[in-house]
Amino acid sequence: MKFFEKIRNTRKTIFSLLFLVIVACLIFFAGMMFAGKNSEPEITSTSLQQQLQEISDLAVLEYNYTKVGKFENSLELNGWDIPLTKKSFLLTYSGTLQAGIDMSHIEISVDDKNITVLLPDVEIISNLIDEDSIEVYDETKNIFNPISINDYKTFASNQKSVVEEEAIENGFLSEAATRVQNAIRSFLEMIPQIKEDYTIEIQFREAN
């Protein structure tokens, strides 16, 4: 009888231990689930601003161009062109223009469930002429005012400003501004918590 009582007592002890282990496991997993629900990152202006500023320059619009420019120059005396000293050439070139914003100047504020993003002005952030694309035509030869390598370089550099002005007149920066707003909104909405619970307002600093 004592033998069977020992077996029953041993079984009770085992069952008790198993029960404690099961309870401990349930408590552990319940704690993990609770912690998981509360481990969502806190949405703060500082954290969002740091994430966006890591992007540095945000280029959102690119324009590839091929242009022809004419260079003319004469020697001058007291503001008057000296006859027979005119030099000229035609230059064709191709390049790429990019517009965007400097993300280091972005400002973000979080108020309750509202996120306000204040952006710097859209600007031309890159304008590169492909040197291999440059070709010279109708080059004049003037012994009194010969064409120099510096003439080509200076003219090509000045043409960048011409291209930028033309692009801006055609709405290049306006289109880039719209794309910047869409890009920032898409980035923020990639965070599920923001997409579900927050409203986003994006403004340019000049709008204020």
Q: Name the residue type at position 21.
A: V
Q: Which two tokens stand for residue 39?
A: 């481990």
> In terms of C-beta density within 10 A (0-12 exposed, 13-18 middle, 19 or more buried), how is residue 120 classed?
middle
The whole-number pLDDT of residue 175 equals 94
Residues in the chain: 208
Residue 29 per-residue DSSP state: H
36/160 Cα distance (integer angstroms): 54
Check: CB of residue 181 under 8 Å from CB of residue 95.
Answer: no
What is the torsional sign of CA 70, 75, 78, 83? negative
Of 94, 44, 46, the closest CA to residue 69 belongs to 94
Q: Is 117 left (phi over 0), alpha (psi -120 to 50) or beta?
A: beta
The whole-number pLDDT of residue 41 equals 58
Which whole-number Å values give the CA distances from 9 to 12, 19, 22, 141, 195, in the listed order? 5, 15, 20, 115, 58
Which whole-number Å values give the CA distances from 86 to 29, 54, 135, 173, 196, in the listed order? 87, 52, 20, 38, 68
The whole-number pLDDT of residue 120 equals 93
| Angle (nearest 5°) at CA 188 between 59 and 40 | 140
The whole-number pLDDT of residue 149 equals 82
Q: Which two tokens stand for residue 142?
A: 């003037």
180/99 Cα distance (integer angstroms): 10
Q: What is the pLDDT along the chain (208 residues), one digit of tens a residue?
A: 443 344 344 444 444 444 444 444 434 444 444 444 444 557 787 888 788 877 777 889 999 999 998 988 887 778 788 888 888 889 899 999 999 999 889 999 998 889 999 999 999 999 999 988 888 888 888 888 888 888 888 888 889 999 999 999 999 999 999 999 999 999 898 888 888 889 999 999 864 4
The whole-number pLDDT of residue 30 equals 42
